Structure 1
Amino acid sequence: MPDKRGRPVPPSEDRMLSRMRDWRAAHERELTPDGFDEEEDVSLPDARAMDLVLRVGELMLASGEGTEAVSEAMLSLSVAFELPRSEVSVTFTTITLSTHPGGDHPPVTGERVVRRRTLDYFRVNELHTLVQQSALGLLELEDAAARLSQIRRARMPYPNWMIAIGFGLIASSASIMMGGGVVVAAVAFLATVLGDRTSVFLARRGVAEFYQMVAAAAVAATIGVGLLWVSSELALGLQAGAIITGNIMALLPGRPLVSSIQDGISGSYVSSAARLLETFFILGAIVTGVAAVAYTAQEIGVAIDLESLPSAGTSMEPLVLVGAAGIAMAFAISLAVPPRMLPAIGVLGVMIWIIYAWLRSATDVPAVVGTVAGAIAVGVVGHWLARYTRRPVLPYLVPSIAPLLPGSILYRGLIEITQGTAVFGLLSLVEAVMVALALGAGVNLGGELVRAFQHGGLAGAGMRGRPAARRTRGAY
């Protein structure tokens, strides 16, 4: 029978929904004190199915997916491959799957540890497709295992050199947004790529990621200060500070920021705290690298005028909008988002900037308020697109917030500190953190608004069965 949009429903979907309802009923029964029946039928779990579920969850988490989505995917696979009475626990680095055969048999538990993370939204997208097809009964266990092996071996949609270029394009697009011009945009591209290659070299030498980020920020900042000195000596009038701002925006941790707030709202507090700590470590590395170069520049006499620091302000000129779209799409390329999603991400990047700039100019609201409004709108549209296209939501959200990442605010705060106005500098840094958190909270609030009016539920548990929706006080 067709669905509400007139599209044919796979023949196995009704059977799958029935199995999900049975799973939910059994799961709710087991949560009650007298709900466990020692004499119920024994169903030994399939070791191959458990291994598949664990490996899918491990690869999703290592590729950048949030803990709630990983838990949902693993539970869906557990239902699809009939693992009895499954429980899933996902933290920042560990995935655990436990099934109970029934009767007097002890539970069977498996665990995987994520030791290496590589942001790859192409694999996240492919894994979501695998889970959906398995949940609808379109893939048997052997076929799903073969498909997982293909996904592991698959090449990213972009070669490594294009990923590196993506970082440079983020910086050059940000420079264009801030009025840097062609020369500054070209130098920003070169500086960011050189910084990225420096961090890659250090990674191959076994240096910790914190110091890789410090080096990447310092290399780009040094080139920016060098161009600033040349511009001041030759009276070229270049916005050389846009190079440093663009590099900061390329390094800012948009993905862990969104995921940390998403995990916290969904009730995964351990993972949320770990991701938030990761975010602040990256911010600390950027601040350390840029501040060291800025302080050295002040000491050797390179003048940095606070009144002429680069900022896009609230402009909605065509060149600024092109820069906003460029930042979003370049950010998506650096995260290996599938190419067919890039146009929608570019539109979302322009949309978040227009909402922010219009609110700031028309109503004179603070930057945080404009940021929240734009982020909520992107969250709503991004979650709707993800549901409509049956794709994961993070590849839409994370690149789309890039135009509002607080690169210019962070840069201003660092310069104020190095020029002796530490109080104003700290206030600017606090404002940058507030804007960053507003971005993460806004896109997640947009998702909650979509969820409030959606049909269906998560992992066969229904909307009320979502762990984040369970009430800790009162009653339904």
Structure 2
Amino acid sequence: METLVERTRRSNARTAWGRLLDRAAARRLDNLIDLAEEEPGAPETYRAMDLALRVGELLLASGESTESVTEAMVSLAQSYELPRSEAIVNFTAISISCLPGRGAAPVTGERLVRRRSPDYTKLVAVHTLIRTAATGTLSLDDAFAQLNHIKYGRGGYQRWLIALSLPLMSAAAAMLSGGGLLVSSIAFLAALLADQTTVLLARRGIAEFYQFAVAGAIGSLTAVLLMATGLPLHGSTVVTASIITLLPGRALVASVTDGITGAYVSAGARMLEVFFALAAIVSGVGLVVYTAVHCGLPLSIAGLPATPPGLNALQIGAAVVLTVTFALSMHTPPRELLAAAIGGGLIWVLYTLLREAAFSPIIAAGVSAAAIGTIAHFAASWARRPALPYVVPLIGPLLPGTALYRGLLELGGGNVSQGLLHLTQALAIGMALAAGICVGGELVRAFRGTPIAAVASNWRRPAARRTRGY
């Protein structure tokens, strides 16, 4: 039989084992409590992620580069103490995640950018919000209030002034191409009709491709009807002026910027956006030009604007007006309009001097954009403002409207090889402008450090590695 000593020993063992189990359970409970404290389920965490996503969406819709949007989101995440956050930005989707650590599950938020409309007034205001948040003096409630005011508040310009910006740009382009006051007035009316038609189509939900095609067709049809009347006017100038207002210069600059900084997915998507915009313009203008040529209307290479770039007051003034109206169409703040006017005049003067020195249009455009764009980038850095309102309007006077129209005329007349050559030249000029504008941003980063979008974070672009061709 079991002795009393053995029963007592067994009872003590069960008691000790029970105590060990109780202690293990207590330790597991403590760990769960600790994890709960680290769980990203606090409302402040979700609100900080939501703020970063909304800011990224607004910046991406306004045309900011992928790298700048990523820097801004990481900056906000670190300003509001999101643990180990990562931001991913693509052409139409942005996401941000945070990892609390200690085994807690990560949390990821995502937003889609369905509508891209450049508004540089909102862009500047968002960058100001980011800088203020970096100082630690802006609470989440105040940040959301400011962001809602930026997004839904009244714009800085009247709607009628924005509606007249592109027609005024077309009139200035006609004057820059050698058209007189009457031709510029016709170009203004044609651009106004095309712009309002696209607004109507947009409200009906028509795809942007067909909006560009219809706008290009309206501008060229106006010129064709003008030539059909037999009046001694340069109808081709109206076509080139209307083409300039449709060229996707802003998207081209953004695509080249993304490609240079290594965001190849976004760069490829933006380049496709540029391609489809150009295809739409070529479709609309080309259809009208082809029909007019085969109907015997006087559309020929000889009727193209032949006025060379010059340093006379009329052309310099037209370049300034074109740059300012281009900036105005993108809702550029009044403070930056003066910089756009100065930059537009300077880039035209430098381009003219290079053309008079027998440089090709491609080299002259690229060098002019690089030189004046670098000055504009440094001016934006010194003013602690985003660079886009300073640099994008500068390419307006040098957009290749005449080269594009010349290629379409050649194709319409059956000269395919010359038509493709001129279309390629137009594309090369656009790429040279975009690449030249981006040079200044790299110099600012090299000599003045981290951009203003990343002032609150330790964001640094990874050091470039030379691939040596493989």
- Compute the TM-score of the two structures, normalised by the length of structure 2: 0.88
CA distance in 2, matches of 1:445, 1:51: 33
Report what 1:179 is aligned to: 178
**Offset at residue 297 of structure 1 (A):** 1.2
Q: Does 1:258 align with 2:253?
A: yes
Residue 12 of structure 2 corresponds to none
- What secondary structure does 2:111 align onto? strand
Give the partner amino acid of 2:209. Answer: F
Hey, what does 2:382 align to over in structure 1?
388
Question: Secondary structure at the residue paired with 2:311?
Answer: coil
What's the counterpart of residue 245 of structure 1?
A: 240
The equivalent position to 1:349 in structure 2, one of 344, 347, 359, is: 344
Q: State how 1:77-226 maps to structure 2 within 5 Å.
A: 77-226=76-225
1:358 paired residue number: 353
The alignment partner of 2:97 has SS state of strand
Alignment match, 2:434 = 440
> Residue 287 of structure 1 corresponds to which residue in structure 2?
282
Q: Secondary structure at 1:453's aligned position in 2?
A: helix
Aligned to 2:24: none
* Inter-partner Cα distance in structure 2 for 1:262 and 1:463: 22
CA distance in structure 2 between the aligned counterparts of 1:314 and 1:171, rounded to whole angstroms: 17
Per-residue CA deviation, residues 70-102 of structure 1 (Å, 9 max, x unaligned), is: 111111111111111110000001111011111
Which of 294, 302, 318 in structure 2 is aligned with 1:299?
294
Distance 1:312 1:105, change over 3 A: farther
Partner amino acid for 1:354? V
Equivalent AA in structure 1 for residue 235 of structure 2: A
Paired with 1:386 and 1:419, the residues of 2 have a C-alpha distance of 46
Residue 328 (structure 1) aligned with residue 323 (structure 2): yes
Query: Which digits, 9 at most, give the CA deviation of each residue in 1:150-176, with x for residues without a partner?
Result: 111112222222222101011100011
Give the length in aligned residue pairs: 430
1:379 & 1:300 partners in 2: Cα distance?
45
How large is the Cα RMSD of the aligned pairs? 2.0
1:424 paired with 2:423, answer no
Structure 1: gaps (5+ residues): 1-37
Deviations 1:56-80 (A, max 9, x none): 1111112222211111111111111
Cα separation, 1, equivalents of 2:221 and 2:304: 16
Distance in 2 (CA, whole Å) between partners of 1:132 and 1:71 is 15
- Note the C-alpha offset of 1:42: 4.0
Cα distance, 1:463 vs structure 2: 9.3
Question: 1-side partners of 2:281 and 2:196: how far apart?
Answer: 16
The answer on whether the counterparts of 2:223 and 2:239 sit within 8 Å (CA) in structure 1 is yes
Structure 1 SS opposite 2:105: coil
- Deviation digits for residues 9-40 of structure 1 (CA, Å, limit 9, x no counterpart): xxxxxxxxxxxxxxxxxxxxxxxxxxxxx99x
Deviation at 1:391, TM superposition (A): 1.3
SS at match of 1:401: helix
Judged with a 3 Å threshold, the aligned counterparts in structure 2 of structure 1 residues 320 and 401 are, in CA distance, closer, same or farther, namely: same
Residues 463, 179 of structure 1: CA spacing in aligned structure 2 closer, same or farther, 3 A cutoff? farther
Match of 1:375 in 2: 369
Change (3 A) 1:316 1:370: same
The C-alpha deviation readout for 1:353-392, integer Å capped at 9, x for no partner, is: 1111101112x11111101101101221121121111111
Tell me, in whole angstroms, the C-alpha distance in 1 between the residues paired with 2:354 and 2:276. 32
- Distance (whole Å) between structure 2 residues aligned to residue 114 and residue 312 of structure 1: 43
Sort the Cα spacing of 1:90 and 1:330 in 2 relative to 1 into closer, same or farther, 3 A: same
Contact 1:87 1:98 (C-alpha < 8 Å) held by counterparts: yes
AA aligned to 2:418 is F
Q: Deviations over 1:165-205 (max 9, x none)?
A: 10101110001111101000000000011011111122222
Cα distance between partner residues in 2 of 1:311 and 1:51: 54
Alignment CA distance shift 1:311-1:393 (3 Å): farther
C-alpha distance in 1, partners of 2:444/2:48? 33
Output the CA distance in 1 between the equivalents of 2:186 and 2:265.
41
Q: For residues 257-310 of structure 1, what are the alpha-carbon distances to aligned partners after superposition, in whole Å with 9 as ceiling and x for unaligned?
A: 000010111111111000000001001111111111111111222112312311
Report percent identity of matched pairs.
46
Q: Deviations over 1:384-430 (max 9, x none)?
A: 12111111111111111111110010011111111222111110000
**Alpha-carbon offset, residue 446 of structure 1:** 2.1
Q: For residues 231-265 of structure 1, what are the alpha-carbon distances to aligned partners after superposition, in whole Å with 9 as ceiling and x for unaligned?
A: xx24x3x2221111011000000110000010111
Q: Distance in 2 between matches of 1:463 and 1:378?
A: 30
Q: 1:311 to 1:449 in 2, by over 3 A?
A: farther
Equivalent residue letter for 2:267: S
Larger mean Cα displacement after TM superposition, 389-398 or 302-311: 302-311
CA distance 1:98–1:311, shift in 2 (3 Å):
farther
Q: What's the offset of the Cα at 1:459? A: 2.5
Counterpart of 1:152, as a letter, is K
Higher radius of gyration, 1 or 2: 2
**Contact 2:127 / 2:385 at 8 angstroms: preserved in 1?**
yes
1:439 counterpart SS class = helix
Unaligned runs of 5+ in 2: 1-33
Residue pair 1:312, 1:320 contacting (<8 A) in 2 also: no
Q: Which stretch of structure 1 is more off in the superposition, 200-209 or 181-190?
A: 200-209
Cα separation, 2, equivalents of 1:166 and 1:338: 14
